[in-house]
Amino acid sequence: MRTIVDRMARKKEKRKAGFHELPNCFDRNTKNKGRWGEYFGNDLPIILELGCGKAEFSLALAKKYPERNYVGIDLKTDRMWYPASIAVDEGLSNLAFLWIHLLEIDEHFGEKEIDEIWITFPDPFPKARQAKHRMINPPFLEKYKSILKPDGKVKFKTDNRELFLYSLEVFVKKEGVKLDELSFDLHAAEEMPEDYKFKTTYEKEFLAMGLPINYVGFSFVDK
Ligand SMILES: C[S@@+](CC[C@H](N)C(=O)[O-])C[C@H]1O[C@@H](n2cnc3c(N)ncnc32)[C@H](O)[C@@H]1O
């Protein structure tokens, strides 16, 4: 007899396989580097969501802004399959997905090809030995810098205060990072745009637990 765990595992495998069949999903063999505009069929701004998971944020904003292109990136195809299939069903041609490790990001986007990068609730990797996996570490930042336009921005939000403070230390120590916006309670910050406050499922749960959302927007000044 199949258990719930078996059924969930089968569903996951189905979603993983399904990812590769969708026309808006790409893997590391894609040849879109420097040519994402050709894929989207326009010269509109390109915005990335790193570690997008189910990409609720990009899905909502791609619907709201047809004049912008979004690419969600994650290591897990089963998570991206769901928003990718919604985008196909709803004819959202400005949303695509890429299955890569973020340290490969500069192999898949050309120099200065990207307008904006969102890092939404990344895994905190709290143990010291896991620290190298944190998405806001200098080796990751170097890659983001190379693909961003000179006036491009990185926008980062997290419920995890320790990760947030760690990231601020990284930004201050790293030459050429300029903090443009900062809030230790994004949803209470009236000056912050409403789009930043779009609440994903996780975000709603964190807020319900009384955890404020930390937000920082930054850019690279020596580009
Ligand atoms: C905590 S989840 C957040 C998902 C989503 N951003 C949200 O707010 O609901 C973090 C995601 O980052 C992805 N991830 C972690 N490290 C990554 C890496 N080096 N490259 C690509 N994706 C990564 C994980 O697979 C996971 O889906």
pLDDT at 4: 87
Task: Among 26, 106, 118, 123, name the best residue to mutate to test ligand 1's pocket (greatest count of ligand atoms within 8 A of Cβ).
Answer: 123
Determine which residue's CA is closest to atom 22 belonging to ligand 1.
74
CB 172 within 8 A of CB 138: no
Task: Among 47, 74, 119, 200, name the best residue to mutate to test ligand 1's pocket (greatest count of ligand atoms within 8 A of Cβ).
Answer: 74
- Do the domain assignments include residue 163? yes
- Do the domain assignments include residue 91? yes
What CATH number is given to the structural domain containing 25?
Answer: 3.40.50.150
- Do the domain assignments include residue 1? no
pLDDT tens digits, residue range 45-89? 999 999 999 999 999 999 999 999 999 999 999 999 999 999 999
Give the binding-site residues of ligand 1, using a 6 Å CB cut-off: 51-54, 73-76, 79, 101-102, 120-123, 200, 202
CA of 56 to the centre of ligand 1 (A): 12
- Do the domain assignments include residue 5? no
- Do the domain assignments include residue 175? yes
Q: Is 123 a catalytic residue?
A: yes
- Do the domain assignments include residue 10? no
Torsion of CA 64, 48, 92, 99, to 10 degrees: -150
pLDDT tens digits, residue range 116-160? 999 999 999 999 999 999 999 999 999 999 999 999 999 999 999
Confidence band of 3 (pLDDT split at 50, 70, 90)? confident
What's the mean pLDDT when you consider all of the chain?
Answer: 96
- Do the domain assignments include residue 9? no
Give the residue numbers spanning the domain of 165.
Answer: 15-220
CB 26 within 8 A of CB 77: no
CB 46 within 8 A of CB 72: no
Is the pTM higher than 0.85?
Answer: yes
pLDDT tens digits, residue range 77-95? 999 999 999 999 999 999 9
Q: CA nearest 25: which of 93, 105, 67, 80?
A: 80
Ligand 1 atom nearest the C-alpha of 76 is: 25
- What residues does 50 pair with on adjacent strands? 73, 119
- Do the domain assignments include residue 25? yes
- Catalytic site residue from 6, 43, 123, 180: 123
Number of domain units in the chain: 1
pLDDT at 223: 54
